[in-house]
A = this chain, B = another copy of it.
Amino acid sequence: MYNIAIAQSGGPTSAINASLAGVFAEGATNEFIDEIYGSENGIEGILNDRLINLRNIIIDEHDKQLLMITPSTILGSCRFKLKSYTEDESSYIKILETFEKHNIKAFFYIGGNDSMDTVMKLDAYFKSKSIDIKVVGVPKTIDNDLPETDHTPGFGSAAKYVATSLQEIIRDSRVYSVQSVTIVEIMGRDAGWLTASSCVLRANGEPAPHLIYLPEGQFSPEKYLTDLKEMLARYKAVLVAVSEGIRFPGAVYDDTKDAFGHTQNAGIGKILENYTKEHLGCKVRSIELNVMQRCSSHIASLTDIEEAERIGRAAVNAAVNQSKSGVMMTFKRISNNPYRVEIVDTEIEKVANKEKKFPEKWITAEGNNVSIDALNYFLPLIQGEPVIEYRNGIPVHFRLDQ
């Protein structure tokens, strides 16, 4: 008998806790596993020996169900980058100390491409020292930009929130008799997957969003105005979905410094709003969906939540029953209709620090929308609604502290 540990790193999603629940549930019933530790704030908790025995907090099936539909992560996260062990071994030694102290033989790290760098480095370190500790990555990101996997847990719920909100926003924006343009800025600094996913509204006959701009395409302000005029000739209220990763030519961006409200630090939504107002006479507004995109678990995708749990379970199986290490679990889409995925693992080197862009072939020739292939890819990921428990009219969250 030995113990396992789990941690989460990077930005929150609505499905991380479901993966945590999956690792826990599989670990709790595995004959080789005794305790299942959660590490506070990602790898920082391992470095500083801040572990939570999950058996003490996830007591019954009701706890697990609540956990699965609680957004963000109950364990906290971090943005910690391990140096190479040949450069500085100190963190590795501290991590190993924690693992040995608690008899931890397998470590699961839920995260995106940065977090997979940690999985890769830890695995390489343990292998170099012939230490038998398995390290397995569990994917997670609303950006959907991890290579090797058909999609990432957390993405489907974000896409469902975006589609649901955009449909409500188009209802709202059509209310007056005057023409209007509504620009919605959607997350995805480098990859346009989430913005592109707003095309799912077309499956229900909704023409909005009328224009979709992704960082993978070529953005030209002049072409944008032409696109907009064409749409305004056909629709009273035009909805534009724009990825936060779009760069407006000439605008000065400074994402790393604190913003003090100066125009150059405004998001692309605000920049496009101002540009549109300058060049067109109609009513224009911009909306930033902000962090609600990654934490609106009340409108989570059941498919996403269930898959996130399954991939957590599969990670435990891979490490414990198949002795895998230095891998990340991935979804492989076997069939689209009916939608079926299987879970396999991939070498961590193929994922760490890499990103998967939205395919250019799915961007229309005009560069202002996406193809039916993209729609078919996205649609299965947003299906189904988890049962949400309400108390006092508000969804109940699984909470460890205040």
A contact residues vs B (CB 8 Å cutoff): 11-12, 40-41, 44, 70-73, 76-79, 160, 163-165, 167-169, 171-177, 200-201, 203-204, 206-207, 235, 258-263, 266, 270-271, 273-274, 277-278, 287-288, 290-292, 294-299, 301, 379, 382-385, 388, 390-397, 399, 402
Given contacts A393-B301, A394-B200, contact A165 B296 (CB under 8 A): yes
Residue pair B277, A258 in contact (C-beta under 8 Å):
yes
Residue pair A397, B171 in contact (C-beta under 8 Å):
yes
What 4 new A-B contacts, CB under 8 Å, besides A200-B394, A204-B396, A261-B263? Answer: A163-B394, A200-B392, A204-B391, A301-B393
Q: Which of A41, A172, A271, A287: most chain B CB closer than 10 A?
A: A172
Residue of B nearest to A17 (CB): B171
Query: Which of B160, B290, B299 interacts with A299 by CB under 8 Å?
Result: B299
Distance of A294 from chain B, by nearest CB (Å): 7
Residue pair B258, A164 in contact (C-beta under 8 Å):
no
Query: Which of B41, B71, B260, B393 interacts with A171 by CB under 8 Å?
Result: B71
Residue pair A172, B295 in contact (C-beta under 8 Å):
yes
Residue pair A292, B168 in contact (C-beta under 8 Å):
yes
Residue of B nearest to A283 (CB): B258
Distance of A254 from chain B, by nearest CB (Å): 14
Residue of B nearest to A278 (CB): B260
Residue pair B262, A44 in contact (C-beta under 8 Å):
no
Residue pair B168, A78 in contact (C-beta under 8 Å):
no
Residue of B nearest to A384 (CB): B393
Residue of B nearest to A385 (CB): B390
- A270 surroundings in chain B (CB, below 8 A): 261
- A385 surroundings in chain B (CB, below 8 A): 388, 390
- A76 surroundings in chain B (CB, below 8 A): 174-177
Distance of A159 from chain B, by nearest CB (Å): 9
CA distance A76 to B291 in the complex (A): 30
7 A-B Cβ contacts within 8 A?
A72-B174, A77-B176, A78-B176, A204-B391, A288-B288, A288-B290, A298-B299
- A160 surroundings in chain B (CB, below 8 A): 393-394
Residue of B nearest to A303 (CB): B393
Query: Which of B172, B393, B399, B402 interacts with A71 by CB under 8 Å?
Result: B172
- A295 surroundings in chain B (CB, below 8 A): 168-169, 171-172
Q: Which of A40, A44, A200, A399: most chain B CB closer than 10 A?
A: A399
Distance of A205 from chain B, by nearest CB (Å): 8
Residue pair B261, A72 in contact (C-beta under 8 Å):
no
- A390 surroundings in chain B (CB, below 8 A): 385
- A79 surroundings in chain B (CB, below 8 A): 176
- A206 surroundings in chain B (CB, below 8 A): 399, 402
Q: Which of A172, A175, A395: most chain B CB closer than 10 A?
A: A175
Q: Which of A298, A379, A390: most chain B CB closer than 10 A?
A: A298
Distance of A186 from chain B, by nearest CB (Å): 13
Residue pair A203, B78 in contact (C-beta under 8 Å):
no
Q: Which of A11, A394, A395: most chain B CB closer than 10 A?
A: A394
CA distance A177 to B78 in the complex (A): 7
CA distance A259 to B53 in the complex (A): 52
- A383 surroundings in chain B (CB, below 8 A): 392-393
Given contacts A271-B261, A298-B164, contact A172 B393 (CB under 8 A): no
CA distance A235 to B290 in the complex (A): 23
Distance of A383 from chain B, by nearest CB (Å): 4
Residue pair B287, A261 in contact (C-beta under 8 Å):
no
